[in-house]
Chain A
Amino acid sequence: MIANFFIKLGQKVISFLYFLGGLSNLAAQTLYLTFSPPYQRRRIFDQAKRTGYDSLLIVSLIGMFIGMIMALQTAVLMQRLGSEMYIASIVAISLVRELGPVITALIVAGRVGAAITAEIGSMQVTEQIDALEAFATNPVKYLVVPRFVALSLMLPVLTLYADLVGIFGGYAICVYRMGISSSMYLKITADALFYKDLFTGLAKTVFFGMIIAFVSCYEGFNVEGGAEGVGKATRQSVVISFILIITADCFFTALFYFIFP
Chain B
Amino acid sequence: MIEIKNVTKSFAGRKVLDGASLIIPDGMTYVIIGRSGCGKSVLLKHIEGILKPESGEVIVNGHNVSKSSEDELNELRMKIGFVFQGGALFDSLTVGENVGFGLIEHDHIGQQELLERVEEALSMVGLGGIENVMPSELSGGMKKRVSLARALCINPQIILYDEPTTGVDPITADSINELIKSLHDKLKVTSIVVTHDMKSAYKIADRIAMLYRGKIIAEGTPEEIQQSNHPVVHQFINGLAQGPITETVEPKSVLDKTQKVHM
Q: Which residues of A contact B (CB under 8 A)?
A: 122-123, 126-128, 130-131, 133-138
Q: Report yes or no: B90 in contact with A134, Cβ–Cβ below 8 A.
A: no
Contact residue among B75, B82, B89 (Cβ-Cβ distance under 8 Å from A134): B82
Q: Report yes or no: B88 in contact with A127, Cβ–Cβ below 8 A.
A: yes
Roughly how many angstroms separate A136 CA and B90 CA in the complex, as a whole number? 15
Q: Report yes or no: B90 in contact with A133, Cβ–Cβ below 8 A.
A: no
Q: Which residues of B contact A (CB under 8 A)?
A: 45, 48-50, 70, 73-75, 77-78, 80, 82, 84-86, 88-91, 101-102, 105-106, 150, 154
Q: Report yes or no: B105 in contact with A134, Cβ–Cβ below 8 A.
A: no
Contact residue among B48, B75, B78, B90 (Cβ-Cβ distance under 8 Å from A128): B90
Residues of chain B with a CB closer than 8 A to A135's CB: 77-78, 101-102, 105-106, 150, 154
Q: Report yes or no: B82 in contact with A126, Cβ–Cβ below 8 A.
A: no
Chain B residue with the shortest CB-CB distance to A122: B91
A241 to chain B, nearest CB (A): 23
Q: Report yes or no: B48 in contact with A134, Cβ–Cβ below 8 A.
A: yes
Contact residue among A122, A123, A128, A134 (Cβ-Cβ distance under 8 Å from B77): A134
Contact residue among A122, A126, A128, A134 (Cβ-Cβ distance under 8 Å from B50): A134
Chain A residue with the shortest CB-CB distance to B162: A127
Q: Report yes or no: A133 in contact with B77, Cβ–Cβ below 8 A.
A: yes
Chain B residue with the shortest CB-CB distance to A224: B12
Q: Report yes or no: A126 in contact with B88, Cβ–Cβ below 8 A.
A: yes
Q: Report yes or no: B86 in contact with A133, Cβ–Cβ below 8 A.
A: no
Residues of chain B with a CB closer than 8 A to A128's CB: 88-91
Contact residue among A122, A131, A136, A137 (Cβ-Cβ distance under 8 Å from B84): A131
Q: Report yes or no: B50 in contact with A133, Cβ–Cβ below 8 A.
A: yes
Residues of chain B with a CB closer than 8 A to A130's CB: 45, 50, 82, 84, 88
Q: A131-B84, A134-B77, A136-B106 are in contact. List 11 more A-B contacts (CB 8 A).
A: A123-B91, A127-B84, A127-B85, A127-B88, A130-B82, A130-B84, A131-B82, A131-B88, A131-B89, A135-B77, A135-B154
B227 to chain A, nearest CB (A): 36
Roughly how many angstroms separate A122 CA and B49 CA in the complex, as a whole number? 22
A259 to chain B, nearest CB (A): 41
A141 to chain B, nearest CB (A): 10
Chain A residue with the shortest CB-CB distance to B92: A119
Roughly how many angstroms separate A235 CA and B90 CA in the complex, as a whole number? 24
Roughly how many angstroms separate A130 CA and B105 CA in the complex, as a whole number? 15
Q: Report yes or no: A137 in contact with B105, Cβ–Cβ below 8 A.
A: yes
Residues of chain A with a CB closer than 8 A to B90's CB: 123, 128, 131
Chain B residue with the shortest CB-CB distance to A125: B86
